[in-house]
Structure 1
Amino acid sequence: MNRAAAAIFLALLCSGCPKRIDFGPQGPITRAEELFRLTSAAQDQVATLQGDGKIRIESPQGSGTVSAFLAVSRPGLLRVEMFDFFNRPIAVLVTDGQRFGLLQFQENKYYQGPATPRNLSRFLPVALPSEELVSVMLGKVPFIPAERMTLTLDEKERLYVLTLHKGGVSQVLHVHPKHLRVVRSQVRGLETYGLEYENFKEQGDFVFPHEVTLRAPGADTSLGLRYTGITLNESPDLTLFDLSAPEDIPVVEVDEGGQSLPPVALPPASPGS
């Protein structure tokens, strides 16, 4: 066999070989509890985020992509500003974890009330507590409280498969073997949402996903978020989370279920005032 033919043979042979799994400096992990501990620590490294992104919504009510400015800080501070194709403001959502304010430009109204999942779903097509929504946006997967854990290795996808079990409910986590970040999360035995994280980029001593997709199969709805220019772990500008109503905008107070409350009657003016 001449040299050219030998080189082609070796190239074809190697192309059929599975790629080596990069387990990083820690090496292969065989204990589920250890992987869970390291993965939890890895996704706890980011506490704040601020910058620009794109939000993609797909639901039975409609689909589309908008530009957004985002400011997020654990445990429950969130500001999302949405803009249309011509960079005109559509809406602004602000919450401190307890209360929320929603400015709808088309309606020219400012909604405010308790930051319940129902009220936050006025803005985003998912009903999540604000702290959980903040966690998801910061790349942190909420875990079920596991009674036991199992661990396998998917050699085809080159990912760990860590499964958390609690009674009849399980959460299947596909974890990157080097960065120890969750790539996919799916809960079985409970009607909830799934998560997918992609486009991981190094940020100093850690990696952070710049794309997240939340899928709610029961509602046939998905929410995608792609960060295009962000900073991480900088001191948050707390003025971004001010819940004061804008001037000259009608205010609508809503209850926990999102129902409008009657306007509060002002006390009568005292004589001589």
Structure 2
Amino acid sequence: MEIRPINLLIFSFGLVLTMTIMAPASIHDQSPLSQPDSQTKNDLSFPALMNRLAILNEPVSREGAGRLVVQAPGERYSLQFRLLAKGPEALRLEIFDPFGRPMLYFVSYLGETRLFSIAQKKEIPFNSSLFGPWSAISQIPIVEMLKLFWGRVPLFPYDTYKLDIGQEEEKRVIKLFLLGNVQQELWISPDPFSLTKVRITNPSKEGEIEILFSDFSEVTGNQTPMRCEIKDGPGEHVLTIRYETLVLRPDISDEIFKFSGLSDSQSTGKEIIP
């Protein structure tokens, strides 16, 4: 029973990437980006929007805690999490079972991602056997998935695009279509600027996924979603990331992202995170 929530959680994260694993590198790496000035913030042209999407929610050192609600046919788990991060490339995620007992540590640091099982008191090999039907998740950088904690999604190369500006519930909404090997539809609220919904379809694979961002807060200085919901097309598999607390932590040290000493901490009982 104890390992099933872990596998289900990993499977659900894999769902996010199943539609995108065949895509080339993200467009984030194609050209340097700049922070928008006051004039750019009113610019709703395609280049300006793509620039703002790419820099949406710049990493700010933070500590957060909340719930990971994992759903699959016939199963539902509400797990607790604690996040300490400087950004997607320096992140430590602790996952606890429904009773608050530590289950899993997930560390991403300097391009390396590692898992540590608290119950088994050992590192879990990060290989495709963990991901079951989404085994191909191991073929792309896990950091793409971790951007969800910042209200970001991967942005993939496209052949054509379409931009619509309309009204929904008396609010101006921008709908952006990126059409390529991976097709993306993005819903954007221009004032304040926030990404609220994404639909991702990979024609070479079955189905689609939706990512919904909501409950925005400016605790980090920009529009940070306190809730993220990821679901497949039929809605059978759903992962909800819900922050209950989120605070700035400029004092976070890189030492907490280093994996050495985790095994020793389990035998000595020493606290490994301040």
Q: Same fold (TM over 0.5)?
A: yes
User: TM-score when scaled to structure 1?
Assistant: 0.67
User: TM-score when scaled to structure 2?
Assistant: 0.67
Question: CA shift at 1:104, angstroms?
Answer: 3.7
Q: Secondary structure at the match of 2:49?
A: helix
Question: Are 1:36 and 2:50 an aligned pair?
Answer: yes
Q: Secondary structure at the match of 1:246?
A: helix
Structure 1 match to 2:252: 236
Residues 1-273 of structure 1: pairs in structure 2 closer than 5 A? 29-41=43-55, 43-60=56-73, 62-96=75-109, 97-105=111-119, 108-113=120-125, 115=126, 118=128, 121=131, 127=137, 129-157=141-169, 158=171, 159-166=173-180, 169-190=182-203, 191=205, 193-203=209-219, 205-217=221-233, 220-232=236-248, 234-244=250-260, 245-247=262-264
Q: Secondary structure at the match of 1:144?
A: coil
Structure 2 unpaired stretches of 5+: 1-37, 268-274
Structure 1 residues 59 and 202: alpha-carbon distance in aligned structure 2, compared to 1, 3 A threshold: same
Structure 2 match to 1:257: none
Count matched residues. Answer: 220
Q: Is the 8 A contact 2:186 2:199 kept in 1?
A: yes
- Cα distance in 1 for partners of 2:65, 2:265 equals 28
Structure 1 residues 164 and 100: alpha-carbon distance in aligned structure 2, compared to 1, 3 A threshold: same
Structure 1 residues 126 and 95: alpha-carbon distance in aligned structure 2, compared to 1, 3 A threshold: farther
**Structure possessing the higher radius of gyration over alpha carbons:** 1
Deviation string, structure 1 residues 135-184 (Cα, Å, up to 9, x no partner)? 111211211112332211231243110111225x4210000121222101
Structure 1 residues 44 and 51: alpha-carbon distance in aligned structure 2, compared to 1, 3 A threshold: closer
Equivalent AA in structure 2 for residue 133 of structure 1 = M
Structure 1 residues 76 and 179: alpha-carbon distance in aligned structure 2, compared to 1, 3 A threshold: same
Structure 1 residues 219 and 199: alpha-carbon distance in aligned structure 2, compared to 1, 3 A threshold: closer
Equivalent AA in structure 2 for residue 141 of structure 1 = V
Q: Secondary structure at the match of 1:243?
A: coil
- Cα distance in 2 for partners of 1:229, 1:29 equals 33
Q: Is the 8 A contact 1:49 1:232 kept in 2?
A: yes
Q: Is the 8 A contact 2:201 2:209 kept in 1?
A: no
Structure 1 residues 57 and 210: alpha-carbon distance in aligned structure 2, compared to 1, 3 A threshold: same
- Cα distance in 2 for partners of 1:134, 1:104 equals 21
Structure 1 unpaired stretches of 5+: 1-23, 251-273
Question: CA shift at 1:249, angstroms?
Answer: 6.8
- Cα distance in 2 for partners of 1:242, 1:119 equals 24
Q: Is the 8 A contact 2:60 2:220 kept in 1?
A: no
